[in-house]
Amino acid sequence: MSGHSKWANIKHRKAKVDAQRGRIFTKLGKEIMATARRGGGDPEANPALKAAIARAREANMPLENINRLIARATGELDGVNYEEVNYEGYAAGGVAVLLKALTDNRNRTAPELRHLFARHGGSLGEAGCVAWMFDRKGFLAIPKDGLNLDPEELMLLLIEEGAEDVREESDVIEVVTDPGDLGRIRELLSEKKIRFTGDEITMVPNSTVPVTDRNTAEKVLNLLDALEEHDDVQRVYANFDIPDEIMNEIDQSA
């Protein structure tokens, strides 16, 4: 869980900068089109599309843009056909990296990703080389700021409702569920007017690789950052465990 948590926190701090560059709109747009094409354009009948739309609205994507993307995906307008592809590899220090991408050209995407891995001391691997190190889970984070319940009381409630893992971090409470239970947990929080962020079906590492050397840690984080920046990459998962003191040093020197 450490790799997921710490990388999620890094991405959260970057979110506003990414949105200003417009890159996040590109990624969200691809996700909306792919989920609408796969499960239909009605968000009430397509939970994956509903979640993608919620993330797009959270990023302030105009509703008109969202409707246009859905129309393209369902054939009402001409659009690009994006294919979902998983890529796997290793970062420096033997850290496993799993990518979920949406591409209209595999022959372009794979070499570009291979170059990014090599540039940052890693290597793109074969299909299946690291996927077994991750489990498909539901995930969301509850900010402590403005929380209307005692954190311990909330954590017990979530466990009673079927959450598989609930842990308290410095500024959020992280919740891991079975993928099928995420919707129920989300509804519970909404009913109690508890704000949550980052709700998604994700890939959580079932074991982690300790990274205690700062140089190696920087290579790992730089690779993940570069992969996040790639237009075709939708999700980046890794199983690193970097000590907080090294993370803080890197953060302060950035």
Structure tokens at 49: 């599309």
> CA-CA distance, 139 to 144, in Å (whole number)?
16
> CA-CA distance, 171 to 144, in Å (whole number)?
6
> CA-CA distance, 106 to 141, in Å (whole number)?
33
Q: Is the pLDDT of residue 3 over 70?
A: no
pLDDT for 254 equals 63
Q: With left for phi above 0 and alpha for psi between -120 and 50, is residue 246 left, alpha or beta?
A: alpha
Q: Are residues 192 and 164 in the same domain?
A: yes
pLDDT for 16 equals 41
pLDDT for 145 equals 87
The number of distinct structural domains making up the chain is 3
In this prediction, residues 179-184 reach a mean pLDDT of 90
> CA-CA distance, 98 to 86, in Å (whole number)?
7
Q: Is the pLDDT of residue 213 over 80?
A: yes
Dump the DSSP string for 103-150. Answer: ES-HHHHHHHHHHHHHHTT-EE--TTSSGGGEEEEEEEEEESTT-SS-
In this prediction, residues 41-47 reach a mean pLDDT of 91
Helices (H), the chain: 2-21, 23-39, 47-58, 63-73, 106-119, 151-160, 182-191, 214-229, 244-253
CA dihedral 61, 67, 68, 71 (to 10 degrees): 150
> CA-CA distance, 98 to 81, in Å (whole number)?
23
In this prediction, residues 72-98 reach a mean pLDDT of 86
Q: Give domain status of residue 46, yes or no.
A: yes
Instruction: Read off the pLDDT of residues 136-169 as tens digits, 9 standing for 90 and up.
Output: 999 888 988 888 888 889 999 999 989 999 988 7
Q: Is the dihedral of CA 53, 59, 63, 64 positive or negative?
A: negative
User: Percent of the chain beyond pLDDT 70?
Assistant: 89
Whole-structure pTM value = 0.76
Q: Are residues 121 and 212 in the same domain?
A: yes
Q: Give domain status of residue 155, yes or no.
A: yes
User: Percent of the chain beyond pLDDT 90?
Assistant: 38
- Residue 86 pLDDT grade (very low, low, confident, very high; cuts 50, 70, 90): very high
- Residue 79 pLDDT grade (very low, low, confident, very high; cuts 50, 70, 90): low
Q: Are residues 97 and 185 in the same domain?
A: no
Instruction: Read off the pLDDT of residues 125-139 as tens digits, 9 standing for 90 and up.
Output: 999 999 999 999 998
CA 144, distance to chain mean position in Å, is 20
In this prediction, residues 74-101 reach a mean pLDDT of 87
pLDDT for 25 equals 81
pLDDT for 237 equals 92
Q: Are residues 142 and 32 in the same domain?
A: no
Structure tokens at 242: 């970097």
Q: Give domain status of residue 8, yes or no.
A: no
CA dihedral 85, 89, 95, 101 (to 10 degrees): -20
Task: List the domain range (segments joined by +) for residue 30.
Answer: 16-73
Mean predicted lDDT score pLDDT of the chain:
85
Any idea which residue has 């009605």 for tokens?
A: 42
Q: Are residues 123 and 211 in the same domain?
A: yes
Q: Give domain status of residue 199, yes or no.
A: yes
